[in-house]
Structure 1
Amino acid sequence: MTNPSAITHLFKASMTEEEIAAAAFLARYTGDTRTMYLADLRILFDWCAVNGINPLQASRVHLEFFARYLEEERGNGAAAVHRRLSTLKGFYRIALADDRITKDPTVFLRMPKVQYDEARTLGLSRIELGRLVATARASSPTNGALVTLMGLLGLRVSEACNVQIEDFAHEVRGHQVLRLVGKGGKPATIPLPVPVLRALRECAGDRTSGPLILRKNGTPMDRRAAYTRIKSLAKAAGLPAGVHPHTLRHASITAALDAGAPLRDAQIFARHSDPRITTRYDRGRQNLDRHAAHLVSAFISGAA
Structure 2
Amino acid sequence: MVPRQAGPLAAVSSAEQVTEAWLANRRLSEHTRSAYRRDVASWLAWCAGRELEPLRASFLDVNAYAREIESSGLSAASVARKLSGLSSWYTFLAKLGAVPANPVAGADRPPVDRDHSATVGLSPEEVDALLAAADRDGARSRALLTVLADLGLRVSELIGLDVDDVGFERGHRSVRFVGKGGRARRRVLTSSAGVALDGYLGGRAEGPLFMTSTGNRLDRHAVFRLVRRLAREAGIESWERLSPHSLRHAFATAARSYGVPLEDVQDAMGHADPRTTRRYDRDRHNLDRDPAYTIAAARARREGGEAGAYPRTPGGSRTG
Looking at structure 2, the residues matched to 111 and 218 of structure 1 have their Cα atoms a distance apart, in angstroms, of 44
What residue is the counterpart of 2:200 in the other structure? 203
Residue 173 of structure 1: CA displacement? 0.7
Q: What SS class does the counterpart of residue 231 from structure 2 fall into? A: helix
Q: Which residue of 1 is the match for residue 81 of structure 2?
A: 83
1:24 is the counterpart of 2:21:
yes
Q: Match for residue 38 of structure 2? A: 39
The alignment partner of 1:180 has SS state of strand
- Where structure 2 has 5 or more consecutive residues not aligned to the other structure, the ranges are 1-9, 291-320
Please say if residues 165 and 209 of structure 1, whose CA atoms lie closer than 8 Å, have aligned partners that are also in contact: yes
Query: Counterpart in 2 of 1:171?
Result: 168
Cα distance, 1:223 vs structure 2: 0.9
What's the offset of the Cα at 1:119?
9.2
How far apart in 1 are the matches of 2:222 and 2:84?
28
Report the 3-state secondary structure (helix = DSSP H, G, I; strand = E; otherwise coil) of the residue aligned with 2:284. Answer: helix
Q: Which residue of 2 aligns with 1:193?
A: 190
What is the SS of the residue equivalent to 1:286?
coil
Q: Are the structure 2 counterparts of residues 106 and 34 from structure 1 closer, same or farther at C-alpha, using a change threshold of 3 Å?
A: same
Q: Which residue of 2 aligns with 1:276?
A: 275
Please say if residues 136 and 144 of structure 1, whose CA atoms lie closer than 8 Å, have aligned partners that are also in contact: yes
Aligned to 1:285, the other structure's residue is in SS state coil
In structure 2, distance between residues paired with 1:101 and 1:266: 41
Distance in 2 (CA, whole Å) between partners of 1:204 and 1:287 is 41
Pair 1:237-2:234 in alignment = yes
Deviation at 1:226, TM superposition (A): 0.8
Deviations 1:211-233 (A, max 9, x none): 12123444321111111111000
TM-score of the superposed pair, with normalisation by structure 2:
0.80
CA distance, structure 1, for counterparts of residue 120 and residue 258 of structure 2: 15
Aligned twin of 1:133: 131
Q: Which residue of 2 aligns with 1:95?
A: 93
Aligned in 2, Cα 1:2/1:192: closer, same or farther, shift over 3 Å? same
Alignment-mate amino acid for residue 174 of structure 2: V
How many residue pairs end up in the alignment?
A: 277
Q: Distance in 2 between matches of 1:22 and 1:199?
A: 42
Aligned equivalent of 1:67? 66
Q: 1:20: Cα distance to partner?
A: 4.1
1:88 is displaced (CA, Å) by 1.2
Q: Which one has the largest radius of gyration? A: 2
Amino acid at match of 1:137: D
- Structure 1 residue matching 2:104: 3-state secondary structure: coil
Aligned-partner residue type, residue 166 of structure 1:
D
Q: Give the letter aligned to residue 200 of structure 1.
A: L
Amino acid at match of 1:203: Y
SS at 2:210 equivalent: coil
Retained in 1: the 8 A contact 2:150–2:190?
no
Q: How far is the alpha carbon of 1:176 from its aligned partner?
A: 1.4
1:185 deviates by 0.5
Q: Is this contact kept in 2: 1:150–1:249, CA < 8 A?
A: yes
Q: CA deviation at 1:45?
A: 1.2
**1:256 and 2:259 correspond:** no
- Against the structure 1 CA distance between its residues 266 and 236, is the aligned structure 2 distance closer, same or farther, given a 3 Å change threshold? same
- Alpha-carbon deviation of 1:210? 0.6
